[in-house]
Amino acid sequence: MDYARLLSLNKLLELNSFFLFGPRGTGKSYWIRRSLPEVKVFDLLDADVFERLLRRPRQLGEEIGSGDSWVVIDEVQKLPSILDEVHRLIETRHIRFLLTGSSARKLRRSGVNLLAGRAWEAGFFPLCAAEIPDFDLTRYLNRGGLPRAYLSASPKDELQTYARLYLSEEIKAEALARKIGNFARFLDVMALQNGKELHYHNIACDAGVPTRTIESYLQVLKDTLVGFELLPFAGGNKRKAITRSKFYFFDVGVTNALARRGEILPGSALFGECFEHWLVLEVRAFLGIHRRDEGLRYWRTKTGFEVDLVVGDALAVEFKATRQVAERHLKGLKALREEGAVKDFVVVSLDPEPRRVDGIRILPWTKFLDALWRGTLLSEHGILWQ
């Protein structure tokens, strides 16, 4: 099946040159071929192209014809030195570049200045619900959004292979961790900690590595786009908020494979965890695709009140995989509302119909996603995509 992605590469290049960063396997190269069929592409995973430009970077400009106003360099982190030539061509020939990569780590650590702002940044994500016709929730929570895994007849094999390739190609090949065995154990622990607060000492004990190593390992996951931190929301002053971050992997299916989970069945505790994880990823993808910088946070107090997601100061959201949201599910949102730091409050659930309880909206997940991707969920506050 052929999936049309929501990110318009044509619209990006009409604006400026761009770095397009996204995890390996999310479909960047395929979408480039489909969206920009006439654009010249330099694929740095092609050994011949890589060797040619490694020996003589200036050849890049010589191979770009006078009629090539847009150019793609795929997996640019493989050859950071090529950015000097890209910089020159932007300045002298006004060429628009799309520079894709699955990691910004090597670029930043090699002293490259990412073209001093001459190329902007955009993100590429796994398939989201709005990109999948006849979306099936249980299928997605088991397989995630990597196109090969979602479509595969053997999704577990695909996801396990992906996890091994990540270790061998992104970590071992680039020497991002000195002891790959230690990092592999850390990765297993982090998969079990997905969506939970980061306690470095506990993670270090479970992984069998020094506490001081955990921060650098986490940075590897973030730099290679495999995961991200959800920072705590500090708004309000009536209750003392937790200051630790949470960590999420970039894809539900990859997390399932790393954590060695079995089938995710509706009604199970794992279904609820995956439901929350997936919806956090949907909101993150929406903001990323539309290049919005509203911060994503979570809120938890030392007395135990918690809200899963806070978007800027506009919206607080609880995700509950229940068919009947009850009063007890609203405690965190009500406590945050008393802080006066957020404008609107929503519970996203498996409820069949939308309703409102004590000023808090209860939305079926389908209605929530429809409003999110239409851009109407938060537009009344004037801060998100309209």
Residues 132-177 have pLDDT tens digits of: 999 999 999 999 999 999 999 999 999 999 988 776 666 665 545 5
pLDDT tens per residue, range 179-222: 778 888 899 999 999 999 999 999 999 999 999 989 988 988 89
**What is the structure's pLDDT at 240?**
87
Residue 385: which pLDDT band, with cuts at 50, 70 and 90?
very low
Number of domains observed in the structure of the chain: 2
Q: Is residue 3 part of a domain?
A: no
Q: Are residues 141 and 94 in the same domain?
A: no
Q: Is residue 386 part of a domain?
A: no
Q: For 39-64, what is the mean pLDDT?
A: 96
What is the Cα–Cα distance from 243 to 163, expressed in whole angstroms? 31
Would you state the structure tokens that stand for residue 125, as one six-digit string? 């994500």
Q: 249 pairs with which residues across the strands?
A: 227
Q: Chain centroid to CA 375: how far?
A: 19
Angle formed by the axes of helices 180-192 and 200-207, nearest 10°? 120
From the number of C-beta atoms within 10 Å of its C-beta (0-12, 13-18, 19+), residue 4 rates as exposed
Spatial CA neighbour of 51 closest among 75, 83, 79, 87:
79
What value, to the nearest 5°, has the Cα angle with vertex 375 and ends 371 and 378? 80
Q: Which domain range does residue 245 map to?
A: 129-381
Torsion of CA 174, 179, 185, 187, to 10 degrees: -20
Q: Are residues 20 and 152 in the same domain?
A: no
- Mean of the per-residue pLDDT values of the chain: 91
The dihedral of CA 174, 178, 181, 186: what is its sign? Answer: negative
What is the Cα–Cα distance from 294 to 188, expressed in whole angstroms? 31
Q: Are residues 300 and 177 in the same domain?
A: yes
**DSSP-assigned letters across all residues of 97-129:** EEEEES-SHHHHHTT--GGGGTEEEEE--S--G
Q: For 86-98, what is the mean pLDDT?
A: 96
**Which amino acid is located at 305 in the chain?**
F
Q: Residue 130 has what DSSP assignment?
A: G
Q: Are residues 155 and 28 in the same domain?
A: no
Residue 382: which pLDDT band, with cuts at 50, 70 and 90?
very low
Spatial CA neighbour of 325 closest among 271, 363, 374, 277:
363
**What is the structure's pLDDT at 245?**
96
Query: Of the candidates 123, 144, 174, which is a domain's last residue?
Result: 123
* Residues 6 or more apart in contact with residue 206 via CB below 8 angstroms: 189
**What is the structure's pLDDT at 357?**
95
Q: Are residues 158 and 303 in the same domain?
A: yes
